[in-house]
Chains A and B, each alone.
Chain A
Amino acid sequence: MISTYGMAAILIYLVCSPFVASILSGVDRVVTARMQGRRGPSVMQAWWDLLKLFGKESTSVNDIQKILVAAHCFFAVFSGAIFFGGGDLLLVFFSLTMAEVFLILAAYSVNAAYSEIGAQRELLQMMAYEPMLLLTSVGFYLSTGSFAVSDIIRTDIPLICKMPGFFIGLCFILVIKLRKSPFDLATSHHAHQEIIKGLTGDLSGRIYGVSELAELYEEILMLGMAGLFFITSDPVSIVWALIAVAVVMFAMSLIDNVFPRVKWELLLRYSWLVTFFAGGTNLMVLLLQAKGL
């Protein structure tokens, strides 16, 4: 049963996420521009981009594409709603995977070369980050004894103290999830990549807008997961979590600008190494602790 707080959190998530996430990516674009010695666009840019897409004509090769993209958006929003409503982390993980699968199916359905390569690379990308996401959920379970977010946030000390390895691993895959560093992967935000827009290459107008909207919801969910490491039963910890999320966002921009030409082969290899060493070591420590050693 969802508590009143949970309901309120879901409602705030559903209403505010698109706007907050687009402002965040606007700030991110300005920060990136300043790092490159440019003035950069307005902070509102991502929001205007989204509104524009909904005002454009949409052309689609087949009708199934629309349904699949809508399902992608639905599951992305659904996983966020479970998370912010205090639900099960494993359910969030599976629902998020489901959302990705629908987007990949949408890309395969159009039967276009670039979409197809994009979809294949998205699958590789999933292979790179899914183990870490799943391990993080397991880490939360081992440290708190529950998969439910509503129980995890009742902890007395911030979980970052118990699971620093998982945090590093999660930050590493956030680069992929926020569509940052691997510039040739699926639907990276960078222009001049070899597969144009890959996965979303054949979406246009409103349909593309829906997939962008899903991405904004997903962004907030991923940042929420990073914030979960800092939340405790003390309400003041929310401030710490927000600061931590801001630092993580800045670190993402920095990593993206320092390593602008990371390719998918490199990223796949490194994300598994990081998962194995950072996540695996932390997992072992937690397991030993659980056994009372």
Chain B
Amino acid sequence: MRISRSPWLLHYDGSSCNGCDIEVLAATTPRFDVERFGIINTGNPKHADIFLCTGGVNAQNQDVVRQIYDQMPDPKVVLACGICACDGGIFKECYNILGGTDTVIPVDVYVPGCAVRPEAIIDGVVKALQILDDKKRRMKQEGYRSLTSEEYRKQLEEKRADGVKSDA
């Protein structure tokens, strides 16, 4: 059984202007009806397969994003929806914004747009489903395990240190 037949989704609003959130909700309305793909908006990280994040990550909610991500059982994928979630968008230079979702957790699919359109969200989710299936297969065959947010943070720090060295 492919896991992509039953993707449960968790939607978290980082620090978006709510434009993308309204579009995410629009995707669940009768016009776009994501439930036809078996997608359920669960609201519970322990039941979710897809973490859909809108808006940039700020100094206050970075721990929340990390915790939600860590609580999700494997296999899981992260979907950054909207330009703010991809790299910070127009809030990028703000003093409290760290950047996109990938500043704290590993992101699998980036869906740009301001605001992101429901069609693009559905496209992104369909793309995420392929990755989800692939992760499930690797989990079975090679014992694959997603990075925890702590491992990801260390990886980022190492990369940054290497970058500083090469610059010097």
Residues of A bordering B, CB below 8 Å? 29, 33, 36-42, 45, 48-49, 51-52, 55-59, 191-192, 196-197, 201-205, 208
B42: nearest chain-A partner, CB-CB: A191
B47 touches A45 (CB 8 A): no
B43 touches A59 (CB 8 A): no
A56 touches B36 (CB 8 A): no
B46 touches A52 (CB 8 A): no
Stretch binding the partner chain, chosen from B1-9, B12-20, B84-92? B1-9
Give the chain B neighbours of A59 by CB distance below 8 A. Answer: 46, 71, 73
A173→B73 CA distance, assembly (Å):
34
Number of cross-chain contacts by CB at 8 Å:
75
A191→B47 CA distance, assembly (Å):
12
Give the chain A neighbours of B30 by CB distance below 8 A. Answer: 36-38
A-B contact pairs, 24 of them (CB 8 A): A33-B36, A36-B30, A38-B35, A39-B33, A41-B35, A41-B36, A41-B37, A41-B38, A45-B5, A48-B1, A48-B5, A49-B6, A49-B38, A51-B6, A52-B1, A52-B49, A55-B1, A56-B3, A56-B74, A57-B73, A191-B40, A191-B42, A192-B41, A196-B44
A52 touches B5 (CB 8 A): yes
Give the chain A neighbours of B38 by CB distance below 8 A. Answer: 41-42, 45, 48-49
B47 touches A52 (CB 8 A): no
B6 touches A52 (CB 8 A): yes
A196→B11 CA distance, assembly (Å):
12
A40→B36 CA distance, assembly (Å):
5
Give the chain A neighbours of B1 by CB distance below 8 A. Answer: 48, 51-52, 55
